[in-house]
Amino acid sequence: MSFVWVTLVLLLLILPGFACTYFYFLGSRISRETSASSPWTYLGGAVLVSFAIHGALLTVINSTMTGWLPHIDLHYVFAALQLQGSDQVSIVQFAANLDEYRSWLGVYIFVATVLGGAIGGGWSQVLSRGWVKIQRKHEWVYSLKSDLRSGFTWAYVLTNIVHEGRLLGYAGLLKDYFFQHDGRIAYLVLGWQRRFYVYLDPEEATTHQTASGAPDSADPFGRSIDLAYFLIEGDKIANVVFEKIAADFTEADVRDLRELAEVKSENGPAG
């Protein structure tokens, strides 16, 4: 069998590990593009996860006594990978076996990949929700709330944009956020945002509120805007104050947050 065939088989076997890595980072708030870890580290982790999943499935499948579920013969696996013992299976036998069980092979690869993704996504959720107390980088990032039904976070963002002695800032409901690996902000997404300015007076700095992004505003076409999203890139942010508010909200309570949004934008951060 050719080198291309062996490479394809290896990729299919490692697919559960790749799915695990993908879904793990999908639920993370830390960018993997700027991660300090080597790609070989992720590849090694993907291989280990894949072997663990295949080992578990092999044990479960070969231990079942049902006649409708075919057992896995490792001789054919060795033949596919051209490992020791592959000479016990001829090319004709291998091709016939592959043709007979091609549907089962597709189901097996699908189940193994789904298990890998479930493990990665599940572990990411366990860590982000703090169910397992282990040391993580930038622990505070995962404590920010963006789900209105379990509480929310109000953000006061001071940008580095200066105009006529005024620093531009925004206040709003934190809807989404992402951080770089070193803890710097990649971007923030605000809802019900309000614009404000900080006057850089030599004697006393003052803050001026400006109504902006009203939650009950409408566009020129007459469509009602319930919650607009405002994106702020990290390189435009000088500093941020986060106010975390823990509460259990119903759908009716979420609608009442419009009034709270206006009040908090006018009053500024606590303290």
The mean pLDDT value for 260-268 works out to 57
The whole-number pLDDT of residue 236 equals 92
Q: What is the pTM of this model?
A: 0.57
* For residue 159, pLDDT beyond 80: yes
Integer CA distances (angstroms), 60 to 47, 55, 63, 76, 97, in order: 20, 9, 5, 18, 21
- Identify the CA nearest to 232 among candidates 182, 265, 186: 186
Q: What local confidence, expressed as pLDDT, does residue 6 receive?
A: 75
In this prediction, residue 113 carries a pLDDT of 95
Amino acid 213: pLDDT: 45
Can you tell me the distance from the alpha carbon of 90 to that of 239, in angstroms, rounded to the nearest whole number? 67
Quote the tokens at residue 96: 């016939």
Question: Percent of the chain scored above 90 by pLDDT?
Answer: 17
Distance CA 98, CA 70 (A): 13
Asked if pLDDT for residue 226 goes beyond 60, the answer is no
178 vs 80: which has the higher pLDDT: 178
166, 198 contact by CB (below 8 A): yes
Instruction: Indicate whether 154 pLDDT > 90.
Output: no
Backbone angles phi, psi at 229, to 5 degrees: -105, 130
